[in-house]
Structure 1
């Protein structure tokens, strides 16, 4: 069976909401199944996806990932219900803790008990989406009395979870409807899929009803070296500049020396040296980057991994709009 192909809209801030709408319309025309919108330092995902939903017809839409600190779980549930309504049943939400740089630095909230908070948020959002009365007695949230004042959405949108480490991925398998995987080699992904499957078994979940979405950094251009440089910079930024989570994840996958070298050089302000530490072999293990001739088959190595239910084409943070458009076209579903 062919693995569905999604698109992960650019992380970097775009010129306008219209730009994101047009990128999604382009993806829809190319046959991508779903467009995921990250919520980082640009426009908020909820308002943006509302605009996208009103101006697209068939492509699925989703937030990947909404962090569980900046909005309450009840509000996340309301948001998912509303976006499912305005998109005519095309919405799916991904939840996760993000990290202390974002949560504490941007939102001023203590980054405490991220796994437990994610688990409880997933459970609460699902309760809201069922239309049930919310009476929840958790370790973090003690809630009572809330219930949607309108009919719950049909179909109910999937509630996924993000995660990099073994425990967070097991949690996704046990409590969520899917897992968002990223920055993983093929061997590293297989290890985490075992964690997800174990969680699904512990939660007595039907694995066939869960969706593992793998996001792969991609850049496919006639100038193959430029494409590879853009993705190399992207990987170095995440490993070196986004806290310890990506560094630790890369180390767990057998690249401990590289992970610490990148992080150390980045912390010292030598971003070029940090980028150079991502060698060609590692780049090809994590990403799809180069000329169209080199990359058309390369992406299939990720799609062929047993347990991957959808493959999401993502883009390096420094990619220009033309780079995004060219990559999306070259890697479009056949």
Structure 2
């Protein structure tokens, strides 16, 4: 049975307490896991630690922490500590993010994200094994690092976010799960083939990999408001978050549309970009409308072969009340 998770908007909440209250609510509503992103608001580690103290059963995880702003050894230490703090409920989600975030915000060279993600996953898993880390890579050369505390048992799984075919293949070879973000209902199929090919190259069983699909959702009695919010959110990611989400949509067969949305957003024709999403893309991406309509759409994503979990994420323009209304309407 496909799990239903929730993606909490860390930076959008007025206080840390308000954010953690959402995790508590998600647990009460029966969600399987709460994912905490990390971008330019609150850090995910503190948020998860606080949520761990105030919840009992819901799984907790990062989606995602980038592989540049912390060293792989520190990410391994962090994962081990959070597994302890959550009593075994933690999953680490990592990813390269993009050049705007890494270079403009963190002041680091983006370089080869594929190789850096591979090396980070390798090293984190060695750290979590509890043995001395020996690693000779392109980015990292480690000798002798070892957890002084006991290694977590079981070790938390290490997932990775990926958009392009080579990165998804890498996830299949080396990670424990794939976070799929900004995919259409039809477009994810080709990337699932890449994941399976990676699993074969790594001599791994594809059934052992957890595929988590992100779906931007808004379920309100005000059907138009819900659709407007999700369309605006999709347009923002395609048009305003660098070029990688645009390129990801191009790979899914929406070449002209992806570029038209991107160009409109960049030229400050935001309403045109949103209208394009509404008229030509919204039925393939996101879940929005009345509670009944949104629930039906979420179930369509859950029915996709090989998807193990769908996480309910919320449009960036949604208010705290609208987030709560959507979370409640779409609860498992």
The residue number in structure 2 matching 1:276 is 275
Distance 1:214 1:44 in 2: 22
Residue 100 of structure 1 is matched in structure 2 by 99
SS in 2 for 1:186: coil
Equivalent residue runs for 1:117-196 within 5 Å:
117-196=116-195
Paired residue secondary structure (1:20): helix
Q: Distance in 1 between matches of 2:209 and 2:273?
A: 37
Cα distance in 1, alignment partners of residues 206 and 52 from structure 2: 29
The 1-side partners of 2:11 and 2:187 are apart by 26
Alpha-carbon distance between aligned partners in 1 of 2:120 and 2:5, rounded to the nearest angstrom: 25
d(CA) in 1 for partners of 2:143 and 2:237? 39
**Partner deviation per Cα, 1:153-192 (whole Å, 9 max, x = no partner):** 1111000011011111011011000000011112111111
Give the conservation status (yes or no) of the 8 Å contact 2:213–2:309: yes
> Which residue in 2 is equivalent to 1:297?
296
Q: Using structure 1 for the length normalisation, give the TM-score.
A: 0.98
Within 5 A, what are the aligned runs for 1:3-82?
Answer: 3-10=2-9, 12-82=11-81
Q: Distance in 2 between matches of 1:33 and 1:293?
A: 21
Q: Which runs of 4+ in 1 moved over 2 A?
A: none
Displacement after TM superposition at 1:208 (Å): 2.1
- Deviations 1:139-160, CA, capped at 9 Å, x for gaps: 1111111000011011110000
Partners in 1 of 2:71 and 2:16 — Cα distance? 25
8 Å contact kept, 2:180–2:211: yes
TM normalised by structure 2 equals 0.98
- Count the aligned residue pairs: 332
Distance in 2, matches of 1:308 and 1:29, equals: 24
SS in 2 for 1:269: coil
Q: Deviations over 1:74-93 (max 9, x none)?
A: 00000000000011000001
Q: Contact 2:10 / 2:44 at 8 angstroms: preserved in 1?
A: no
- The Cα of 1:272 is off from its aligned counterpart by 1.8
Shift, 1:13, TM fit: 2.2
Match of 1:246 in 2: 245
**1:279 aligned counterpart, secondary structure:** helix
Cα offset, 1:12, TM superposition: 4.4
**Aligned-residue offset at 1:281:** 4.5
Greater CA drift, 266-275 or 183-192: 266-275
Aligned pairs for 1:170-249 within 5 A: 170-249=169-248
Gaps of 5+ in 1: none
Deviates more, 1:248-257 or 1:214-223: 248-257
RMSD: 0.9
